[in-house]
Each structure stands twice: as C-alpha cells, then as structure tokens.
Amino acid sequence: VGSMALVAERAPPNQRASATALLMATTAGIGPLLAMPLAALLLPVRGGQALFAVAAVASTIAFLASTKITHDATQLPRHEIA
C-alpha cells in the first residue's frame, strides 16, 4: 500500500495508471517469476545469506532505477489540461 501511495504521489497525473501497472507487474508478476527459480537453485548451494545478498542487490538496483525514472519524470515540462 505504501509503494502504491508513493507512485500516486510522485507520478505525473497522466502517467499514474502506467506507473501503478508497472509497479504491480514487477512486484507481483515478473519479479517473483524470475526470482523463485533462481532462489530454488541458489539456496541449497549458497545458503540463506547469499539469497539475502542477491535480494538486497536486486532491491537496491530497483530503488536506484525508480528514483532515476521519478527524477526524469519531474524534469519533463508540465502541460495544463484546458
């Protein structure tokens, strides 16, 4: 809920639906789809600490990408709807 509120607050009004859809696709769709098989392979070989490290790196990358996207969106010119 907090991430959706952040998206609603930060995304430009004309891109809120797309931003929310992207958030949901990555957190409830594509992300777990890719992460679960990787975790199944990594956990028995490297243990829980390696799994946590991979999750931390992936989260950091996602955070940096989202802040860049948000920053880039705030630099776009605003158009008033008449």
Is 76 or 11 the better-scoring residue by pLDDT? 11
- What is the pLDDT of the chain when averaged over all its residues? 79
Calpha distance 80→31 (Å, rounded): 35
pLDDT digits 0-9 by tens, 50-74: 888 888 888 888 778 777 766 666 6
* Structure-token pair, residue 32: 């777990």
- What the block records as the tokens of 15 is 């891109």
- What global pTM score does this model have? 0.50
CA-based R_g, the chain, Å: 16
Residue 46 pLDDT class (50, 70, 90 cuts): very high
Q: What is the DSSP string of 37-59?
A: HHHHHHHHHH-HHHHHHHHHHHH
